[in-house]
Structure 1
Amino acid sequence: MRKKIVAGNWKMNTTLAEGQALASEIIHMVEDETDRSVQVVLIPPFTHLYPINKLIGSLRKKHIYLGAQDCSAHEKGAYTGEVSAAMLQSVGVDYVIVGHSERREYHAENHALLAQKARRVLEHGMQLIFCCGEPLSVREAGNYLEYVEAQLRESLFELEADLWEHIVIAYEPVWAIGTGKTATPEQAQEVHAYIRSLIAERYDKALAHEVSILYGGSCKPENAAELFAQADIDGGLIGGASLKSRSFVDIIKACQ
């Protein structure tokens, strides 16, 4: 069975003290209130990774994991401000996001660069969360499936089949992030099913069936259960709602 995953992307929010408090609240609530059938990934800013890994402690590798929001395409060297995959692995990171819509938009990250980043993450033994999704103009034009297909083909489909056991896809309709809009469960399911069909076409059906595909478009406690009930939605990449422990844990419980 493919993994159920709820990952909280804190983006550029929380001081270290705030982040440690939030992580501690989430960890204790997950332990007290959930059946631990869902993998929970905390994805704080880079500055918080090492101390939050210490908070996760022995729960790491069981059902609570540590994630990073990005990594460099370079292995090491004179790249001021960059953080390498090796550095992330050395502080206990389990999952790394690559290709988030904000990185694509604000930092002009293209398919080729994201392919390099994905390769670095996998080479260092971490799990890859690869984001894909369309902006409003593409959704309204009706060619959103082709748009998502290009993102996957250009960045991931040169990878060897055996690496896919370490890859999670996150579909994030850009028009539904921070706008108050949410894709309907049917709209989300359509794209998730299409993504799975593309993986099956490129590799095989058995491999595609095992890949977890997360929804990443303004998922909240109010709509989480309906979204997660769809056949090809295996959890969520949560933004704003992951900054409130109660909301985040309620989403995790909905995924159970």
Structure 2
Amino acid sequence: MRRKLAAGNWKMNGLSAQLAEIDALRTAHPDPSVDLVIAPPATLISAMVVSAADHPLQVAGQDCHASESGPHTGDISAPMLKDAGASHVILGHSERRTDHGEDDEDVRAKARAALAADLKVIICIGESLEEREAANTLEIIAGQLAGSLPDILTAENTVIAYEPIWAIGTGKIPTLDQIGEVHDYIRSKLEARYGAGVGRGIRILYGGSVKPSNADDIFAVSNVDGALVGGASLKAADFSGIITALENA
């Protein structure tokens, strides 16, 4: 039985004052029945680890470099994230792929580095609006899965997040049938590549304009094991509603 996961990606948002949201989340969910992960900006990782002490909430990085160290000004390595107290790292987010030109090979290299540093990886995949309208979604998803995922992984250290690019932060959302089609397809590809045991155990999250008002319907879809949430994770009141919906799913 796959344990549900609610992950929040704060992106380039959050100053020290926003750590009060973690205190509010702890109060609202002192003993959550689902896994909780939040990826703050790198400047807040260590402080959030302290704020989440004695609570199941785990902290993630938003990216890492493929090298352990070196002349890479402004980058952060997987061992550095681990040293700061992070347990997870988000890789291959569409904003990284678009803004920084990352491709599947880059994501795979980063995933290998993260796994070697004993971090759990949340690997993002998803199609653009043009690809969706051209009916190429499943082809794009297959290519990203093949190129972005390392050959060796486990259901315990890897999570897949399906985020249609055109639904991120836009308020637009695929139909429930479209979400189900892609999640079922991802599951079939994982089972085919890694075997039934690992393939069935890897959690698949949906991301893209998830909010308390639509979470119940999304979490009822086949093979949706949780959500990767952007803007709605910045406020404890909003994220709490999503967590509750997932606990009730």
**What is the TM-score of this pair, normalised by structure 2?**
0.96
Do the aligned residues in 2 keep the contact of 1:23 with 1:42 (CA within 8 Å)? no
Aligned equivalents of 2:130 and 2:148: distance in 1?
22
**Structure 2: which 5+ runs fail to align?**
none
**Structure 1: which 5+ runs fail to align?**
none
Q: CA deviation at 1:64?
A: 1.3
1:12-31 superposed matches below 5 A:
12-18=12-18, 20-31=19-30
Aligned equivalents of 2:16 and 2:85: distance in 1?
17
In the alignment, what sits opposite 1:251?
242
**Which of 155, 159, 162 is the equivalent residue of 1:168?**
159
Q: CA deviation at 1:245?
A: 1.0
Count of matched residue pairs: 247
Task: Tell me the secondary structure at the aligned position of residue 58 of structure 2.
Answer: strand
The 10-residue stretch of structure 1 (182-191 or 77-86) with the greater mean CA deviation from structure 2: 182-191
Do the aligned residues in 2 keep the contact of 1:121 with 1:128 (CA within 8 Å)? yes
Runs ≥4 in structure 1, deviation > 2 angstroms?
none
Aligned equivalents of 2:167 and 2:75: distance in 1?
29
Supply the RMSD in Å over aligned alpha carbons: 1.1
In the alignment, what sits opposite 2:6?
6
In the alignment, what sits opposite 1:242?
233
Aligned equivalents of 1:226 and 1:103: distance in 2?
29
**Which of 110, 113, 120 is the equivalent residue of 2:113?**
120
Letter in 2 for 1:104: R
**Which of 55, 72, 82 is the equivalent residue of 1:89?**
82
1:49 matched to 2:45: yes
Aligned equivalents of 1:112 and 1:43: distance in 2?
23
Aligned equivalents of 1:210 and 1:70: distance in 2?
24
**Which of 56, 66, 72 is the equivalent residue of 1:73?**
66
Aligned equivalents of 1:123 and 1:65: distance in 2?
19
Do the aligned residues in 2 keep the contact of 1:215 with 1:233 (CA within 8 Å)? yes
Aligned equivalents of 2:155 and 2:7: distance in 1?
19
Task: Tell me the secondary structure at the aligned position of residue 67 of structure 1.
Answer: strand
**What is the TM-score of this pair, normalised by structure 1?**
0.94
Aligned equivalents of 1:28 and 1:2: distance in 2?
25
Do the aligned residues in 1 keep the contact of 2:193 with 2:199 (CA within 8 Å)? no
Aligned equivalents of 1:189 and 1:70: distance in 2?
27
